[in-house]
Amino acid sequence: MDMTITEKIFCEHSGRKYVEPDELIFADIDLVMGTDIASPLAIDVFEKMEAEKVFDVTKIALVNDHLVPAKDIKAANLSKMMRKFAKKYGIMNYFEVGRSGICHNLIPEKGLVLPGELVVGADSHTCTYGAVGAFSTGVGSTDLAASMVLGKNWFRIPKSIRIKYTGTLPYMVGGKDIILYTLSKIGVSGALYCAIEFTGNVIKNLDMCARFTICNMAIEAGAKSGIIAPDEKTEEYFKNRTCKKYKILNSDKNAKYYKEYEFDISNLEPQVAVPYLPSNSYPVSEINPVKIDQVVIGSCTNGRIKDLKIAAEILRGREVHPDVRLIVIPGSQEVYLEMLKEDIAEVFIKSGAVISTPTCGPCIGAHMGILGENETGLFTTNRNFKGRNGHPSSKVYLCGPQVAAASAISGYICDPRKI
């Protein structure tokens, strides 16, 4: 029987020869990921289960990223709890401040997720790892605890949706624009509990940076996961990141899909999502001039080195508008180091930006750039829900690094093709 890549992954992890959408199966898990904000709840459940050990000390990753460096005593204690748990049970992949990064940047970067694997994480944007051809999805803290004990969990096989992109990627358009445009077409519940499979010549020509961005935001359409079939670019990405063997899987030619879409992006413009949903996306040319108070470039969506290079090239030799605060957040220590080596950090600082250590801070409205009353922000993050990034009266627009950098210069949301 013909199957999708998602269905094949579940077969590989459940000992089945064939699975169908909506089936409930018990499957092996290759990696269980937790963060400082979610792991403490899972640790409480773990202890109530009276478990004596985790299922595999090499297949759990605990990452300090959401509230770090600790913004207050409560945040410090959350990290402390996770630190003690990692030490007590000998968890090898524990990432502390200074050796960490935003989880969805760090996990692939460290080669901890590979093609064909099944991954769960206590964060909704765990679907990011689908960019390498893995099935990865977010779970609650109770499921995280059970997964740490058993190395298995129950899954309902999601229906698969195939989205094919044709044409040629236009100037100043990237992965963020593709996914924002897609969300505007299918809506916030257009892929509810489905696996979105991103395909087509446009996807094949995208670098890994753009692929991570696209899969990261599959959840914004209600999807269980986003996935891209691995290819030579995927294998090149892992060449110096892992020695582990992995299995390349692809969808069969006659695999059945719940829905199929095809988008020609040849004339796609840079996109901007207006408050208060990522799906409220429009071409930048249709956005009336909006004065902005703050720009954030970074996050698990756009905090990779190529994102920052793109923004830096626009800012090179120019200055941030005097009424704008520009905050740049590299996705990991590795990215931060690359910024320093390639003089990208110098470009940002000379332009008038501030560079943060890797953190989710402003994306979740925790610290490192919270918006005040009636302020307007332009973020390269993945959500712009009401009150998420600061005061309930504040407004956040979403975009890619091109629009963000150009707008930081002009002081209002603008088309980067005009800078």
pLDDT above 90: residue 377: yes
pLDDT above 90: residue 385: yes
In this structure, are residues 216 and 130 in contact, taking their beta carbons and an 8 Å threshold? no
Structure tokens at 336: 């931060």
For the chain, what are the domain ranges? 5-262, 271-418
Query: 5-262 and 271-418 share one CATH topology?
Result: yes
Contacts of 101 (CB under 8 A, 6+ apart): 63, 65, 95, 109, 330, 331, 332, 333, 334, 335, 358
Q: How far apart are CA 232 and CA 60, in angstroms?
A: 27
Q: What is the pLDDT of residue 243?
A: 86
Q: What is the pLDDT of residue 382?
A: 96
Q: What is the pLDDT of residues 51-90, one digit of tens each?
A: 999 999 999 999 999 999 999 999 999 999 999 999 999 9
**DSSP-H helix ranges across 344-395:** 344-351
Say if pTM beats, i.e. exceeds, 0.85: yes
Closest by CA to 319, choosing from 355, 290, 348, is: 348
Q: Quick one: 5-262 is in which CATH superfamily? A: Aconitase, domain 3 (3.30.499.10)
Write down the CATH number for the domain with range 271-418. Answer: 3.30.499.10
Q: What is the pLDDT of residues 103-160, one digit of tens each?
A: 999 999 999 999 999 999 999 999 999 999 999 999 999 999 999 999 999 999 999 9
> DSSP letter string over 217-240?
GGGGGT-SEEE----HHHHHHHTT
Q: What is the pLDDT of residue 24?
A: 97
Q: What is the mean pLDDT of residues 17-22?
A: 96
Q: What is the pLDDT of residues 295-345, one digit of tens each?
A: 999 999 999 999 999 999 999 999 999 999 999 999 999 999 999 999 999
Q: What is the pLDDT of residue 9?
A: 98
In this structure, are residues 218 and 130 in contact, taking their beta carbons and an 8 Å threshold? yes
Contacts of 14 (CB under 8 A, 6+ apart): 25, 26, 27, 28
